[in-house]
Chain A
Amino acid sequence: CSEYQKVLNKGTVEKQYQMATKMYEEQKFGKAIQLFEKITPNYRGKPQMERIQYMVAQAHYNTKQYSLAAYYFDKFEKNYPKSSKIEEAAYLSAHSHYLASPIFSLDQKDTYEAITALQNFIFKFPNSANIANANKYIKELTHKLEKKSFEIAKQYYHTEDYIAAIVAFDNLLSDYLGTSYKEEALYFKFKSAYELAINSYITKKEERTTNAIKIHERFKRSFPNSEYLKETEGLLTNLTKELNSLTALKTQTNGL
């Protein structure tokens, strides 16, 4: 360790380079990164730089600093498009973004970047052995975005803001066609519409009830075997009753 300190603080550039490579090979990535940071300015534009940049990126990846690893792999990709390591770098860059992506309920900047990087990788290296993985990750990340959208909409439902919930579920359904949340989204959208209609002022009741019935029709058409149908058909009966009594009231009062 003392030799490392000596080289780090006083060694020549060549010595530092050798030591950095040695540390990297011995899997002491933290120390290697420190040394690499020191020598990078001296090797700018020199042929060794390609190797250094790759090792820096890989060292960050191995120390689980995925945001930084992604940044360095991206840089490597841009600077050395003819490198023999290019496919590996492109994949690791995308994979780093993927690993940096947090749970659905936090900011999804890394998720979007990961999807873009993975798509670029698939486009550039269609014959890579990692294609299957890349596709798997994209699916996983897209599902995460769908979940985010779904949970936000569900929060509106949970806090009994049914107007917001209906629009939010609509946003989810139009943003992610074919989402695996479709059945649940339609179910909750109907429930929101139901609550809105049942608890509505008389002036808006007819419009909202008709709308809720329509939403149910769509739900049933899309998922004729849904387990939720048992519950929703019961609610539908209530709605039809409401609508009938409204029409009856209207005829009695001559449409007033």
Chain B
Amino acid sequence: VRAQEPKNNILKEIQIKNDSIANDSIPPTLKNTTFKKDSSYELGGITVKGLQKFEEETVKVFTGLKVGQQIKLPGDKLTSAIKKLYETKQFSNVEVYISKIDGDIAYLEFEVQELPQLNNVTIQGIKKNKASDLQKDAELKKGAMVTDNLIVTTKNYFKKKFQEKGFLKTKVAINTRPDTSSVNTVNMLIHIDKGEKVKIKNITFEGNKDFSTKKLRKTLKNTKKEMLGRFWKKSKFIEDDFKEDLENLITTYSEKGYRDARVVNHSISWNDDNTLNLNIKVEEGKKYIFGNIQFLGNTKYTDAQLQRLLRIEKGDTYNGKVLKERVTGDGSPDSQDIATLYQDNGYLFSRVLPVETRVNNDSIDIEIRIYEDQPTRIKKVTVNGNDKTNDHVVFREIRTKPGYLYSKRDIIRTIREIGQLGFFDAEAISPDINPNYQDKTVDIDYTVAEKGSSQIELQGGYGGGSFIGTLGLSFNNFSVRNLFNKKAYRPLPMGDGQTLSLRLQKSRFYTTSSFSFVEPWLGGKKPQSLSFSIYNSKQFRYDYQTNRVDKDQRLNIVGASIGLGKRLQWPDNYFTLSQSISYQLYDLKNYPVSTFSFSTGSSNNLSYSITLGRSSAGPNPVFPKQGSEFSIGAKLTLPYSLFNDKDYSTLEDSEKYKWLEYYKASFKGKWYTALTDDLVIMTNAEFGILGSYNSKLGDSPFERYFVGGDGIATFQLDGRETIGLRGYENGRLSTISGGTIYNKFQLELRYPITLKPSASIYVLGFLEAGNSYDGFKNFNPFVLKRSAGVGLRIFMPAFGMLGIDFANGFDPLPGQTEKSGWQTHFIIGQQF
């Protein structure tokens, strides 16, 4: 069942002929005898014979020779002419003759044999669509040159394709027949007889004493015997997989201390019913334990420090794999081992090697030999591939800096943080480490690949009886300083890492517009962000029955906010602190709204908020696999009522809420844990409370929590916070005026289908519980509304996050008795 070596006859032939001419050992064959060897002639003319499809002129051009030039016979010009003809891969044979010598003028004759070209391919014996797929994969294209090599490789390719699927007895026959419709072309007929699928009837072992046959069979991951009811892994025999499985078998032995275990031989026997039996003969050898473990050559770290990483004691079952992983690493970026310890602390040239020094009966003594070398410092740090993003934006994220000690950990963190910028393909950032042993320095070059980071939204729709138009632009890598630099428009001024977004929405009865800008490194000195936003909305009373807009009834909202955020160095540098001041003015004229308790008047909301956060989630911001996100925040207004001496019990609402007053506190925590390479579990807990300074005034009707549903914040009239809780209708877990306390817990299991930069897709399953409460006396963290469900997320850079969730709410909505049941949620632009 081994694939045949492809025959390479034609190519070999060409090689030989080619060589002989190149060596000048054979002079061009003479048809005329007046020729003097090794002298120079003027080229008088070229003729070409043996042509079928090509024109003579074409072949002349191929040779690169020009009539009138001086040419040595034989000589390098002639050799290269022949070489060039072969290089076109159009000819199976090329010969050169001197057709005439006329004094100093020589005439050459090329005799060529053209290779036939492939016209039609017919594949028989398998399904048509399967056949065309295979033909595409085998690159049997119309116009390909048909050589013996092509036929043999094609045959082997098809055979292998089917053998890989378990059709071990596949037969492939290839015939070529000249095609009469065109000059020198052939049609190819491929006949495939894939036969029956071959299954494995039985797998037997010999020589196993300490391991049961059942246990050994389990170690063969891809070679399984036929068994009724097992459908997830079909029984088939594939040589390559089988070899891998045998290695796996030995690894399993060695992990249990059987260091000498080996497969003595294996044999295959065929049964009449198209199945086969496998017999594997093993030699288990002795079971070993670790003997004395010694560290040699360590000056920077003590034995005790190294032992803490090794975690292997004398007397433990011998396990070569674990020993290797603890000494030289398991290949993962956060491996905890001795080599990584040195690599993270500047010892780039260090080498750590576990050596078995003595086998004493059943115990093996180990020496960990350490060659520390000198600490290595970073010399040059460069970035390439940044075609749009300016150097300073990338360099400020790089943790490996010239003059500092080399550290593997810093490189890994740099990759993570460059990825988080969102300007580059997070999976394609690669460091190129160029050590210089002489002066103990290292150069690091980061290669990045830009990806689109702007989003454009242009919508027109019909809603609420009128046309609604939306224009949204968001540029995530903007450059404000190039706004007036015509040259920088490619097509927009980009590359300074600033975010600029604009949004405009208009319908017959309302208009909203907003603008925001973020500079992540104000002044370029420290990661201190400045954000600024303004928005304005105007709406008129709209009568759905008569389709009329009443311009005398209106609500205007104007808002602005300015914020400063910075990364902290203490307690660690994952912490951020942000503060902002925001202001809203609500101006109502004869406009009753459910959450407002007056219909004419104005209300001011001037607040200060502060948030302390810590985020180490990553490395891919769309699909974090590790780390956590925490934030604790407060938002508050001045306590006007405590010093303005007004009697709030008698005031009218429009006077009472002239200047809103409240305080809010919130806590959010998210953890990401990778269960396997791809399967990630996200745990989330959050809590929020809204309170008042003055009991006479009561809780603010603004800034309340609305729990339930998809969590997408819609048009915000009253500073409300929308808290998602899937399995329930939007906002329905809170009363109509909103809750003042909420809490929420989530467990979400995520699995990625693809994480390409063009589109990341993952599936998820979740359990959630949360609730909203009115006032502290009603708060009970154990009265929760629960739900569970599944969903799908698609992230595309141009559209942001899109998704759908199906969730079952187990509890009834407030005031109802029937449980909420299945709900479908569409997710746009937001992540749970």
Contact = CB atoms under 8 A, between A and B. Distances in A.
B52 to A, nearest CB: 15
Contacts of B385: 107
Interface stretch (B58-66, B577-585, B600-608, B658-666): B58-66
A161 B525 CA distance: 10
Interface in A81-133: 82, 102, 104-109
Interface string B374-394: 000111100111111111100
Instruction: Return the 4 tightest CB-CB contacts between A and B, nearest first.
Output: A167-B402, A167-B403, A164-B401, A105-B390
Contacts, number: 71
6 contacts: A46-B55, A46-B58, A82-B66, A106-B495, A156-B401, A163-B401
A106 B390 contact: yes
Interface in A45-76: 45-47, 49
A168 interface: yes
Contact of B57 (A46, A107, A151, A152): A46
Nearest to B54: A45
Given A102-B387, A156-B401, A159-B526, 7 more contacts: A46-B61, A105-B391, A159-B524, A160-B525, A163-B401, A164-B402, A167-B379
Given A106-B391, A151-B392, A156-B402, A171 B66 contact: no
Contact of A45 (B61, B395, B401): B61
B404 interface: yes
Nearest to A151: B391
Given A45-B61, A45-B62, A106-B391, A155 B396 contact: yes
Interface in A137-187: 148, 151-152, 155-156, 158-161, 163-164, 166-168, 171
Contact of B403 (A46, A47, A104, A166): A166
B88 interface: yes
Interface range on chain A (Cβ under 8 Å from partner): 20 to 34
Interface of A: 45-47, 49, 82, 102, 104-109, 148, 151-152, 155-156, 158-161, 163-164, 166-168, 171
Contact of A168 (B61, B88, B402): B402
Interface string B55-89: 10110011000100000000000000000000010
A105 B388 CA distance: 9
A108 B377 CA distance: 25
Interface of B (DSSP majority class): loop
A233 to B, nearest CB: 26
A28 B392 CA distance: 41
B441 to A, nearest CB: 9
A171 B442 CA distance: 13
Given A102-B387, A155-B392, A155-B395, A161 B57 contact: no
A243 B88 CA distance: 75
A171 B380 contact: yes
Contact of B404 (A45, A102, A159, A164): A164
Given A156-B402, A168-B402, A107 B395 contact: no
Given A46-B57, A109-B384, A160-B525, A171 B402 contact: yes
B15 to A, nearest CB: 23
A49 B62 CA distance: 12
The interface centre, meaning the residue of A102, A104, A108, A159 with most chain B CB atoms within 10 A of its CB, is: A159
A176 B389 CA distance: 25
Given A156-B402, A163-B403, A107 B384 contact: yes
Nearest to A148: B391
Contacts of B396: 155, 159
Nearest to A171: B380
